[in-house]
Amino acid sequence: MGIGELFALGCAFTWAVAIILFKKSGEHLPPFALNLVKNAMVLPLFVATVLMVEGPQFPALPARDLAVILASGVLGIAVGDTLYFRALNAIGASRMAVAQALYSPSVIGLSMLLLGERLSLWQLCGVALVLCGIVLVSYSRAEGTAQRRALRIGVLWAVFSVFLMALGVVMAKPMLEQYSFLWVVSLRVAAGFAGMLAIAVFGHQLPALLRSYRGVQHWGAIIVGGIIGTYLSMMLWLAGYKYTQASIAAVLNELAAVFILPLAVLFLRERVESRQVIGVSLALLGVVLVVSL
């Protein structure tokens, strides 16, 4: 196993741990507020890292490439992560583990559209299996139309958030191959934070955000989750894409679903039903078909 594969595997585990911490944090903090403060905490870490490793000289980026990097950060971090936290609160960590499996097919499908790659028949079958797994997990016997509807809406948020994360990394991949890895990562985080801060300021949301922060009871989980889930996990995630093939990195990233389920049972006391295990298995089988054939 090469260094790229190790990075991707480490990303899967650190992201799974962060999801458990973010679920705990999300019990007392709205998704937008959680994402904003998480990015505010880790941005200085990225800036310090890039200055120590690369120095203060800003890379010579053409305006078009810089715009792509910044747009990647806004879509994948500002919008994608916020919707991810909203879905996490709505459907729980165990169901998010299955929605997360849509990430690899999304990356490959978007690569087909944006980078000229092609999907085989087996890969299309793999996408279908992932979707079947998501449908199986999102099915609910809960009584009451409102509760079933809320669950399905939460699953839609989850699917859309994973799609935006995939779009962000597909947009950034050519830049990762051409320019400094640390500068690209730092610029993405800065763009995501700046986009969210602009929304908060111009949307007159700052007073409500400050009130929500004063009521937080789990700052430890937020701080550790931000460092592990944004700083460490993102570095490992993008490093995996830089140092190994995208398809290999994608399938190793999907092992996060395997890690999330037992962690959700142990630390969040979530009840995992047999159909959720079957759904995860179908989704992961679909991922293997998508990335290996």
Nearest 5°: CA angle at 72, between 68 and 78? Answer: 140
Please report how the helices 145-178 and 121-138 are oriented relative to each other, as an axis angle in degrees rounded to 10.
Answer: 140
One DSSP character per residue, 20-64 reads HHHHHHTTTS-HHHHHHHHHHHHHHHHHHHHHHHH-SPPP---HH
Q: What's the pLDDT at 65?
A: 93
Q: Which candidate, 247, 240, 288, 186, places its Cα nearest to that of 14? A: 240
Name residue, tokens 């989750």: 225
* Cα–Cα distance for residue pair 252/143, rounded to 1 Å: 37
Is residue 64 classed exposed, middle or buried when 0-12, 13-18 and 19+ CB atoms within 10 A define those classes?
exposed
Please report the pLDDT score of residue 279 as a whole number: 74
Q: How many residues does the chain have?
A: 293
Label residue 50 by pLDDT band (50, 70, 90): very high
Report the predicted TM-score, pTM, of the whole model to 2 decimal places. Answer: 0.79
**Amino acid 114: pLDDT:** 73
Average pLDDT, the chain: 82
DSSP 205: -
Interatomic CA distance for residues 174 and 290, integer angstroms: 21
Read off the tokens for 163: 């799609």
Q: How far does Cα 81 stand from its chain's mean position?
A: 6
269: left (phi over 0), alpha (psi -120 to 50) or beta: left
Each residue of 200-213: b (16+ CB within 10 Å) or e?
beeeebeeebeebb
User: Residue 125 corresponds to which tokens in the numbers above?
Assistant: 């079958």
Residue 32: band (very low, low, confident or very high) from pLDDT cuts 50, 70, 90: very high
The domain limits of the chain are: 3-292
Residue range 89-114, pLDDT digits in tens = 888 887 777 777 777 777 777 777 77
In degrees, rounded to 5, the angle at the alpha carbon of residue 213 between the alpha carbons of residues 211 and 215 is 75
